[in-house]
Amino acid sequence: MRYFEIFISIHIIIIPDIARYYDIEKMYDVIIIGAGPAGLTAGIYAVRRALKVMIIEKTAVGGQILLAKEVENYPGFGHISGKDLADKMGSQARDLGVEIIMDEVMGMDLKREIKTIITRENQYRGKAVIIATGGIHKKLGIRGEKEFAGKGVSFCATCDAPFFKDKIVAVIGGGDSAVNDALYLSEIAKKTYLIHRREHLRAEEVRQKKLLERGVELILNTVVEEINGDELVDSISIRNVKTGEIKKLDVGGVFISIGSVPSTLMARSAGVEVNEREHIVVNKDQETNIPGVFAAGDVTGGIMQISTAVGEGCIAALSAYKYIKNHSRQ
């Protein structure tokens, strides 16, 4: 009798917890990690294929586009804020039946036929997984960088350059992306500086030559100490690393282009292949090295634009649909 009572007690305590993690309602066709443009697009295309879809997002629906004060290069919207575009994308996904939850992924088991995603709040299973975790722009970590984001500080010249027409701007960085940003801005801004902490740029020599042809002024061996302004950026404090001299430089915009870090740590831990820059390696169908696991958007590298993310999200969703249907026939 005592053993029976113990069994009943264990049953009452443990079974509900097991049910919490293995409830059939927690089973999905496609689980998407990340609710930026790539993830939301993947969700829209997948749910329209009559798949049961869930998106898990750690911070806010929209991803990096929430940082864009204005978006003018996305087809169909001549002028829209990043937040409004994100809201429209999120609403469309939800209206079509995509389940979006706010939670943080803590672990993934991707190598089994049924994938398992462990979050802070629950555990979910899916037949296919799309990783759309994006990337994080590297920050300078200086005063004014956060305070003036969207108010003169930008991490995307392609997105925001038109707002700085006929203004004086500074690009921070020394690689190809920084040089490309400076070249692009030189066609729009009144004056463009390129500030790099070392004596030589890392970008291609051909592109460095174009900087001089375009009138971009190089400020080398220099770091930015502080971004200044009232409501908007009006200057930066810079320091020469060799002489120690500190001075102010009047600018109306600061473009920080020192690279980005893809959010791939969890994926790498689960066995997803990444390249030397830690971007997820995919083929033309957005497939990773693990069957049933796809990736889309900034997390794969390439041209980091909303349009690119949307395209990759679409391909990933259709590839996931094909994968699920092929496996259901086996």
- Catalytic center residues: 156, 159-160
Distance CA 77, CA 83 (A): 13
The tokens for 92 are 């469309």
Give the separation between CA 132 and CA 282, rounded to whole angstroms: 12
Which CA distances in Å does 189 have to 175, 192, 248, 254, 322?
20, 7, 19, 12, 47
Which tokens go with 60? 């806010």
H/E element, 186: helix 176-186
CA end-to-end distance (rounded Å), the chain = 48
What is the β-pairing status of strands 253-256 and 260-262?
unpaired
Report the 10 Å Cβ neighbour count for 282. Answer: 25
